[in-house]
Structure formats: structure tokens, C-alpha cells
Amino acid sequence: MPDAVSAVVPAAGPGPRPFAWPTEGLSYGGDYNPEQWPREVWDEDVRLMAEAGVNLVTLGVFSWGLVETADGVLDWAWFDEVVALLHAHGIGIDLATPTAAPPSWLHTAHPEVLPRDADLYQQPPGGRLAWCPSSPVFRRYALRFVDALARRYGRHPAVRLWHVSNELGGGNARCYCDVSAAAFRDWLAARYGSVDAVNEAWGTAQWGHRFGAWEEILPPRGKHGAPNPGLFLDYERYSSDALLAHYLAEKDVITRHSDAPVTTNMMVGPGAQVVDYASWAPHTDVVANDHYTLVDDPDREQDLAFAGDRMRGMSAGRRPWLLMEHSTGAPSWQQRNRAKDPGEIARNALGHVARGSDGALFFQWRASTAGAEQFHSAMLPHSGTRSRVWREVVELGGHLRALAEVQGSAVERARAAMVVDDVAGWALQHGLKPHRSLRYGRELRTWHRALWERQVLCDVVPPGTDLDGYDLVLAPTLLVLDDAEAERLRAVPARGGTLLVTYLSGVCEPTGRVRRGPGVLEDVLGAWTDEYYPLQAGEQVRLDDGSTVEDWTERVVLDGAEAVVRYATSSLAGGPAVTRRAAGEGSAWYVSAALPRAGVDRVAARLVEDTRLPRTVEADPGVEAVRRVGDRGSWLFLLNHTDADRSVRAAGTDLLTGTDHGPVVTVPAGGVRVLREPGARP
């Protein structure tokens, strides 16, 4: 059996270590890659950083092979000079361990560290994160360099934050090599204790795939196979834990030499993520995210809000998180990369700040002229300081300085929550399912948007979150649901709250097994599904509220609930599509169809009315409103995502302009207002 590093992750400790925020006020800056430029450009860089108000840069992400130029040969001279230059100009450093980019000499000497895909094709050198998370060879070299880096700079006053690797899982989320297979078996042994327990959990009697020894268990190899759902889910969990174990190994080395906070940049978006970031969050001192909108997403601003709400949910709501990367314009990796419209840079950045980020960082500072990302936008674009982007970057720096008093405050407490689980998303989107094109993000985005458009704040929280403070809890397509989480959901209507569950929720146990008999939530819902009716491409079913459904319907049996909306056509005509069961002062709703946006809006309007959920402000759709609160008062963020001026009933001093407003404030088309509300102290 090949040697492998362990993917068994220790339980999170007491939580993040106490630390001062890396910057005075909100953080502003981005990835800085001086190694791409001649020495004389560095002086121009720090001068322009000062002009833009940059106070924090991520340094060293791709520098391993430029410092360790050969095995054990370290050249720190240029790196020392950059660190000293930034420090002399008052710019803090988020120091990255450069293990995302192994040097060419390491790949040449040890090609076995390269990951293999499900068909065992070995990834060639030169890509992103070209290493196997379970490789003991890679771990040894990586930690050796991290130790040297942390010894040299761990106590340097410019180093305010540590940044482990870069977008872990972005190129090596899954490796299927023999080393990974051995590590997977060790992980299974720690989780289940015996091969018989694995057989029971996965139901290996189906297709006669019972295992008699650990060595018989392999990863779910082969891109075109139909792996056992239990095997698939556990390999997803193992792969996430293997990357987390690597993060923790690097973090452990860093904390021997430095007291600065340690994080890594997640990639949290609207659907199921490549790793289970919610399980990572307790191990980070600052929860950090990279967020890029998709150019063909018609609701990019709501995607941004959803990601922000999810980051806040993973940071326990009361501690700031950090936007580690976003873009000033077009990325480089989409099919048709889109520039941002005038004003969109500030609106996007301040949208993240509104939802709890204590900073706005970009990839990257200066646009590259060579390499794979040579056309990726930057704070300082190819067109230089004459550009619109540069003018807006400088303007945004002024905005963030004006908002310094907001740093350390928290987003006000939401009364609505949505439970989101990456494991449920993995299960929904893979394997032989009744409908193999369903995407986890669909229901999440649709229901979140219905509240977002009404200026109703919704926390997006992982399983295990205490739900007692929420009047409304949404549970969309939680295909995999354990008994403890089911009890938390069942308790919501029992204590007087409102629970809404959508189709394909609670169907499977954590092992991937389908639950027998009535599902785990059917009694509280007062309705159960007799049969699934996934719709064929182009097929539609009408409901009696006027909605037209595509993709998914179910035959539902009432067992204590009432029908709120019924199917009007197809063999399901007359049957319940949306149900509600009264439970004391609370209620439980079940949505059996993939409702279109209009149908979701109608249900959401009733939920908001029934639960008396407060709106942050009364405003037309298209105006995003979020309030941050702290010991010194409250600040209201108003973002206008429309092309017309909007009026909002609110009052306060706009920190961006110094202008007093009230009782009505006009938010210009595409503009932002941040009001220090009456009673708040600067």
C-alpha cells in the first residue's frame, strides 16, 4: 500500500484566535506579483498604491520557484526587498504560502506528486494546484518551504495576515491516484471502523459489490461509470478533508512562528462547492472568499448578495469576513468575458462590505502582460492611469477610507435563514437520479432572490446552525439530511416559526441511502410524496395560481396539511403542488414543484406577511438594502441596481459624500449611499 498523508481532520478547537484586524479601517488592495515586473516598476507600484488608498496586498502566491530556485537553494534577496518596500510605504502584507504553484524542478524530480483524474490520466505540469493532496512527497517539500517562509517573516511588522496556498481545490479538488486510494481507505477506517460497517452504510449488496477487505475499496474511478452513491459521497467528503488537512498542516507550521491570523481563500458561489467550505470555516481565523460573477448570469448582483450572505453564515454572523478576490472588470476564464459598467466596481465592492466583509481586495494589482491570465482585469489595467477603471479604483479607495468607522460592526440580525449543505448539493447533482440535470443552486438562488427583492435579510447558514432565532427557515432540496438537522428543522414550527421545505429534501440518509417509508420530515409537513414526476425537456405543467412549471413535479398525498396551490394539468391535475400545515403558532410548507420565479414570489410574499418579517427599508425592487450595526450605532447601505434614480424612506449622513438626507433619500441610478443613521457616532 503506498504511503499517504492522513486526511483525518481533527475537530475544530475553541474557535478563531483573537487578533486585531489586519488594517486600520477597511482593507483595500489585491494580489501583488512584483516578480512579473522590472525593479523600477515596483517604485511606481507603491506610489500608485498610495494614490489609490491601498493598505493591504496579497504577496507571494506564485513565488515558490522564484525563491527556491532549485531543491534547497533559497534566494530571498528580491522578496526581502519587496517586503521592505511595502512596509516603508505603510502597506500591510497578506503573506501567501506559494504552495499552489509547485516549482518546475519539483515536478521534474517528483512527477508522482501530480494529480490523476478519474480515468487515471495524470495532470501535466503548468496547471493550477498541480499536486495531489495526499502525496507525502509534496507535503514534505511544501512544509519545508512554509517553515522557511514563516521563520523569516513570521514576526515582520508588515505581515498582518497569512494566506495558505490559493483557492484550494481549484485545480486539485479530486485526485484518484493509488496514494489517494490508500489515504481514502485510512479515512474510511477512521470513519466506520470496519469493512462490514462500510458495506452496511453503502448497501454494497446491490449489484453484488460487497467488500471483503480494505484493499478492495477504490475511489470512484471512471468518468462514465455509475458509482455507488455512498462511495461517491464519502469520496467527496474525503477529498474535502484531504485538502483541509493540508491547509491545517501549513497553518500549524505558520503558527509556530507567527501570531498573525491565518486564512485561506474560499470560492463560495451559488451552488455546491468543490469542497465543503462550511467544515473549513471553524479552522480559519478570518473567513475569506474569492467571488467572480458569471457573465451570462442575468442576476449577477443577487449572486453577489447570496455569496455574501453565505460567507456571513459560515462566519457565525457576528465576526467580519474578508473579500479576498474579485475583479475590476472582465475575468479571463469565461467563454465571453465581460467588462463592468461604469460604477459597477464600487457597487460590487460595497455590496460585499454591506453584507459583512471588512474589506474589498482584487485579483490583481497590475494587469499581467504574459501568461495564462494576461487578459484578466486588474486595479491598474493595461491602459494605465488614463483609464476609467483606474479612476474608479481611486474613487473606491476614497469610499473605503470614508467608511472606516464601519469596520468591526456586524450585519444586523436576520429573522430569515436558508440552510445550505454542499454534501446535499453533491448528492443531487451526481449519479443516477430521477432527473440528472437538476442543479443545487437553482432553488437556492430563486428563494433567496424572492427575499432579496423585498429587502428582507436572509442568513445563508450551514447544517448545525442554531435556528432558534429565526422566524422563517427555508430548506431547499436538502436531498441528504441527517437526523440531528432534521430535528432542528422540525423544531421551527413547533416553537411558532415557519418552515418551508422544497422537493427532494430529506430523501436520503448521510450515507446516500434512500430512507424507507415516510421521510424524515413528512410528519411535520403533513404531506408526503407518493411518486416523482420529473418533466421531460420542453414539457410544462400549469398550476392553478397561473404558474407554469418545468423540470420537476410530484404526486403528493395530504396527511394533515392543506393544499395552497394545486396542479391544473397533467395526470397530477387537482393534486397538491404547494402545501401548508398549521402547527400551533407555527406552520410548515412543502413545495413539490420547481416553481418559476413568479410562483416563488407569490409564496414568498405570503411567508413574509404571515411571519411579519421586517424589511430593511421600503423600496422598489432593484434597490438592495442592508444595515450594519455596532457599539457606535448603525449604518444603512443602499445600492441601486437599476438604470433610474430610486427614492427610499431613510435618513442619515451619507459617508461617501458627507451629505445629510431624510426623511427620503434619492439613490442615483447605479449608485450607492451609505448612511450613518441618526444616533450613530463616527
- The residues annotated as belonging to the active site are 167, 325
8 Å CB contact between 568 and 592: no
Which residues does 293 contact at the CB level (< 8 Å), separation at least 6? 300, 303, 304, 348
Q: Collect contacts of 560-566 with beta carbons under 8 A, ≥24 apart.
A: 560/526, 560/527, 561/525, 561/526, 561/527, 561/588, 561/590, 564/589, 564/603, 565/599, 565/603
d(CA 448, CA 460): 9
Q: Is 653 helix (H, G, I), strand (E, B) or coil?
A: strand
Altogether, the residues listed in the chain come to a count of 682
d(CA 198, CA 202): 6
Per DSSP (E only), the strands in 490-540 are 498-502, 527-534
The amino acid at 418:
M
Q: Is 75 helix (H, G, I), strand (E, B) or coil?
A: coil
As to burial, measured by CB atoms within 10 angstroms (0-12 exposed, 13-18 middle, 19+ buried), residue 138 is buried
d(CA 419, CA 410): 20
8 Å CB contact between 135 and 179: yes
Residue given cell 432579496 in the structure block: 452
Cell of residue 233, nine digits = 459521497
8 Å CB contact between 615 and 455: yes
Per DSSP (E only), the strands in 379-514 are 410-411, 416-419, 458-461, 472-475, 498-502
Give exposure, 354-389, as e/b (b: 16+ Cβ within 10 Å). Answer: bbbbbbbbbbbbbbbeeeebeebbbbbbeeeeeeeb
Which residues does 203 contact at the CB level (< 8 Å), separation at least 6? 228, 230, 511, 513
8 Å CB contact between 65 and 103: yes
Interstrand relation of 410-411 and 27-32 (parallel, antiparallel or unpaired): unpaired
The amino acid at 423:
V
Cell of residue 502, nine digits = 422544497
d(CA 142, CA 165): 10
Q: Which of 260, 264, 270, 256 is nearest to 305 (CA)?
A: 270
What does residue 611 show for φ and ψ, rounded to 5 degrees? -90, -5
Q: Is 33 helix (H, G, I), strand (E, B) or coil?
A: coil
What number of other Cβ atoms are within 10 A of residue 649's Cβ?
11
Cell of residue 265, nine digits = 481563500
8 Å CB contact between 668 and 641: no
How far is the first Cα of the chain from the last one, in angstroms, to the nearest whole number? 63
Bridge partners, residue 359, by sequence: 27
Cα dihedral: 158, 160, 162, 166 (round 10): -80
CA 190 to chain centre: 28
d(CA 561, CA 557): 9
Residue given cell 445629510 in the structure block: 660
| Residue 506 Ramachandran class (φ > 0 left, ψ -120 to 50 alpha, else beta) | left
d(CA 335, CA 316): 36
